[in-house]
């Protein structure tokens, strides 16, 4: 009788505790696996889309202008962007592939012209046609599309395809960002297996462990998604949380790769390629930030625009390479003298913008005279010739009651007044 009761109680206990918990654990595993898989696929899709957009922006910055084909010789065709041939130039997409593991392909009409994908012999699969279905859905219908099983060569990929437009709105091709499906599936399978093992090993804690684990994973995904969204909006100084970067798994690797991509994009987008100073776009953004801080704190700031004197004559006399050497030499002097004071940016051609933070017009003018003295005494060696130049600067003190463009125009007017009065001076 007692044995029967024990057996009965044991059965009831198993039925009311272990069996429900086991079933709950299985359900949680199934639910968590589905949620994780969907979140992972959504994140991969979002990452592919953001990366494709970033690649297009990078090409627009590096090679301004429209895409077109030009004939080389009698038969060979080359892809150009603006006035530059980009066929065979893989540095941008190869760097992204190295840092993120994501393949990039650019199509002109239906033909691959740039790609990081290689065949079994290690040869890039250029001059091959896009899949007819993808061509119809993306190029013909001008719609972006995601594919979970896009066949490229002999492999399957998670891929994002989008139409490629010129400035006049004409669709001229497609861009694709793709990640091998095996990599994504392997990442999903490893995580699902871990959830299953935890559920089996700790039945009572299965639900809590699974929910907690899933929540942490989703938090990481949301953190990466938020970071990518910020980068997509142009915030190239945003920071990725250390809880992502310090992870030893694929998410940590993904986070660190994305951070490297952000750094590379920031250099490409914010820095002037020749002088290594901030470009005009970055200069405008940093000027606005100083202007807004001055509005809040009341601290003074000063704005100067400088121009190399007779720069066209240098180019005409010594050549454009000599002019580039002069620009780099002047930029180095400006950058060194602006440390701790503000920033210098290449404003355009031989013009430079200098913004002094926490400095009155008088203080800025004194600093500019020191810079001018340094430039006057500098000789640039070029092909056994020593070239000397001077500069003219216009400087005004910032007035937060005026718009930024008004302040910049006043500095520009001072510059031209200096040009008119003989150059080689600081007009304040």
Where does the pLDDT of residue 6 fall: very low under 50, low under 70, confident under 90, or very high at 90 and above?
Answer: very low
Q: Which residues lie across from 104 on neighbouring strands?
A: 177
Cα torsion through 16, 22, 28, 34, rounded to 10:
-140
Higher pLDDT, 144 or 33: 144
Higher pLDDT, 21 or 342: 342
pLDDT at 242 over 60: yes
CATH of the domain at 141: 3.30.450.40
Residues 285 and 422 in one domain: yes
Q: What are the distances in angstroms from CA 85 to CA 64, 88, 92, 199, 423?
A: 12, 8, 14, 57, 40
Q: pTM here?
A: 0.45
Specify if 49 maps to a domain.
Answer: no
Residues 148 and 253 in one domain: no
Residues 286 and 262 in one domain: no
Residues 206 and 332 in one domain: no
Q: Given this model, what pLDDT does residue 25 score?
A: 67
Specify if 333 maps to a domain.
Answer: yes
Residues 286 and 177 in one domain: no
Q: Are 160 and 166 in contact (CB under 8 A)?
A: no
Residues 226 and 336 in one domain: no
The overall average pLDDT reported for the chain is 83
Residues 336 and 251 in one domain: no
Q: What is the pLDDT of residues 375-405, one digit of tens each?
A: 999 999 888 888 999 999 999 999 999 999 9
d(CA 253, CA 232): 20
Q: Given this model, what pLDDT does residue 294 score?
A: 94
User: SS3 of 75, please?
Assistant: coil
> How would you classify the pairing of strands 67-72 and 111-115?
unpaired
d(CA 428, CA 418): 9
Question: Who's near 404: CB < 8 A, 6+ residues apart?
Answer: 284, 287, 288, 291
Rounded average pLDDT over 144-156:
83
Q: Are 145 and 178 in contact (CB under 8 A)?
A: no
- Structural domain span for residue 369: 280-427
Which residues in 397-426 are b (16+ Cβ under 10 Å) and which e? Answer: bbebeeebeebbebbbebbeebbeeeebbb
Residues 253 and 289 in one domain: no
d(CA 220, CA 58): 27
CATH of the domain at 314: 3.30.70.270
Residues 256 and 310 in one domain: no
Number of structural domains found in the chain: 3
Q: Given this model, what pLDDT does residue 8 score?
A: 40
Specify if 275 maps to a domain.
Answer: no
Where does the pLDDT of residue 19 fall: very low under 50, low under 70, confident under 90, or very high at 90 and above?
Answer: low
Residues 253 and 363 in one domain: no
Q: What is the pLDDT of residues 302-350, one digit of tens each?
A: 999 999 999 999 998 889 999 999 999 999 999 999 999 999 999 989 9
The dihedral of CA 146, 185, 41, 255: what is its sign? negative
Q: Given this model, what pLDDT does residue 268 score?
A: 66
pLDDT at 3 over 90: no
Rounded average pLDDT over 254-278:
77
Q: Given this model, what pLDDT does residue 297 score?
A: 93
In 6-165, where do the E strands start and end?
A: 67-72, 76-81, 84-85, 103-108, 111-115, 145-152, 155-165
Specify if 122 maps to a domain.
Answer: yes
Q: Given this model, what pLDDT does residue 87 score?
A: 86
Q: Are 95 and 108 in contact (CB under 8 A)?
A: no
Q: Given this model, what pLDDT does residue 334 score?
A: 96
Residues 86 and 175 in one domain: yes
Residues 342 and 206 in one domain: no
Residue ending a domain, among 183, 213, 247, is 183
Specify if 46 maps to a domain.
Answer: no
pLDDT at 414 over 80: yes
Residue ending a domain, among 183, 207, 227, is 183
d(CA 161, CA 275): 36
């Amino acid at each position: 009788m007692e044995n029967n009761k024990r057996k009965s109680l044991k059965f009831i206990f198993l039925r009311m505790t272990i069996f429900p918990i086991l079933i709950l654990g299985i359900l949680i595993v199934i639910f968590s696996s589905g949620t994780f898989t969907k979140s992972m696929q959504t994140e991969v899709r979002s990452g592919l889309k953001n990366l494709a957009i970033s690649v297009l922006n990078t090409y627009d910055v590096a090679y301004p202008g429209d895409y077109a084909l030009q004939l080389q010789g009698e038969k060979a065709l080359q892809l150009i962007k603006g006035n530059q041939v980009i066929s065979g130039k893989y540095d941008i997409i190869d760097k992204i592939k190295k840092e993120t593991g994501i393949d990039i392909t650019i199509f002109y009409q239906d033909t691959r012209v740039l790609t990081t994908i290689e065949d079994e012999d290690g040869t890039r699969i250029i001059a091959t046609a896009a899949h007819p279905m993808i061509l119809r859905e993306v190029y013909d219908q001008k719609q972006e599309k995601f594919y979970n099983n896009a066949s490229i060569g002999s492999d399957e990929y998670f891929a994002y395809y989008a139409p490629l437009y010129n400035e006049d709105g004409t669709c001229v091709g497609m861009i694709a960002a793709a990640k091998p499906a095996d990599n994504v599936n392997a990442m999903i399978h490893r995580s699902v297996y871990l959830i299953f093992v935890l559920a089996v090993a700790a039945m009572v804690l299965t639900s809590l462990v699974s929910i907690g684990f899933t929540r942490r994973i989703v938090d990481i995904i949301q953190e990466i998604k938020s970071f990518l969204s910020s980068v997509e909006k142009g915030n190239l100084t945003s920071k990725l949380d250390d809880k992502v970067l310090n992870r030893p798994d694929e998410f940590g690797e993904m986070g660190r790769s994305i951070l490297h991509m952000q750094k590379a994009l920031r250099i490409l987008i914010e820095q002037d390629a020749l002088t290594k100073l901030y470009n005009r776009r970055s200069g405008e953004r940093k000027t606005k930030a100083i202007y807004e801080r001055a509005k809040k704190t009341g601290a003074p700031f000063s704005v100067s625009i400088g121009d190399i004197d007779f720069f066209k004559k240098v180019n005409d006399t010594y050549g454009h390479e000599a002019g580039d050497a002069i620009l780099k030499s002047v930029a180095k002097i400006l950058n060194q003298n602006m440390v701790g004071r503000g920033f210098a940016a290449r404003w355009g051609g031989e013009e430079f913008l200098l913004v002094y933070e926490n400095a009155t017009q008088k203080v800025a003018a004194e600093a500019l005279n020191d810079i001018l003295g340094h430039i006057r005494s500098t000789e640039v060696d070029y092909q056994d010739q020593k070239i000397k130049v001077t500069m003219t600067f216009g400087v005004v003190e910032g007035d937060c009651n005026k718009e930024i463009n008004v302040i910049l125009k006043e500095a520009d007017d001072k510059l031209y007044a200096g040009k008119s009065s003989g150059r080689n001076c600081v007009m304040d």
